[in-house]
């Protein structure tokens, strides 16, 4: 071998960096392709919308705003921040109306809270899976 044909450390480092760049670029392209092919229901449902200035929302009050698609979003301002809720009942798909500090589904007379998806109140046929009647009654008493 002649001295001109031997690889130097600089050439080796350049080859590694070029290979790493290619792997990173094609990996990013592959990830974008996979995300494009995934169904929309598997993608996160997070979206940012401008709802107004903070001083326009009173603490404890619920305000209805609409996104760009016309969907109603219920926004509640608490002491420490904001909470947003869908205005559609997860069971029957009907609109949910706010009454005082609780959210009530008119079709099933169920109450909803920010931290608990459904608090069973009247419909006896709807139970959380795996709960005994005593546990369900304790849950009702805790969130009533």
Tell me, what CATH number does 104's domain have?
2.102.10.10
Same domain flag for 62 and 121? yes
> Residues of 102-123 as b/e, b for ≥16 C-beta within 10 angstroms?
ebbbeebebbbeeeeebbbbee
Positive or negative torsion for Cα 46, 139, 128, 71: negative
* Tens of pLDDT, residues 65-121: 887 777 778 788 888 888 777 777 666 667 766 655 455 544 555 554 444 444 334
Whether residues 129 and 77 share a domain: the answer is yes
Query: Has residue 7 got a pLDDT over 70?
Result: yes
Q: Report the alpha-carbon distance of residue 87 to residue 85 in Å, rounded.
A: 6
- Which residue shows structure tokens 């805790």? 142
pTM of the model: 0.41
Token code pair at residue 36: 């494009």
Domain count, the chain: 2
**H or E element in which residue 11 lies:** helix 9-37
């Amino acid at each position: 071998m002649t001295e001109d044909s031997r690889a130097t450390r600089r050439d080796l480092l350049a080859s590694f960096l070029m290979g790493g760049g290619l792997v990173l670029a094609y990996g990013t392209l592959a990830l974008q392709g996979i995300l494009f092919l995934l169904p929309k229901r598997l993608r996160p449902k997070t979206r940012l919308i401008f709802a107004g200035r903070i001083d326009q929302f009173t603490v404890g009050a619920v305000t209805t705003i609409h996104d760009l698609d016309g969907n109603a979003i219920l926004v509640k301002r608490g002491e420490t921040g904001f909470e947003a809720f869908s205005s559609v009942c997860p069971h029957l798909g009907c609109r949910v109306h706010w009454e005082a500090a609780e959210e009530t589904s008119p079709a099933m007379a169920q109450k909803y809270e920010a931290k608990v998806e459904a608090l069973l109140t009247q419909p006896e046929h709807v139970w959380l899976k795996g709960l005994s009647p005593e546990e369900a009654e304790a849950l009702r008493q805790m969130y009533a």
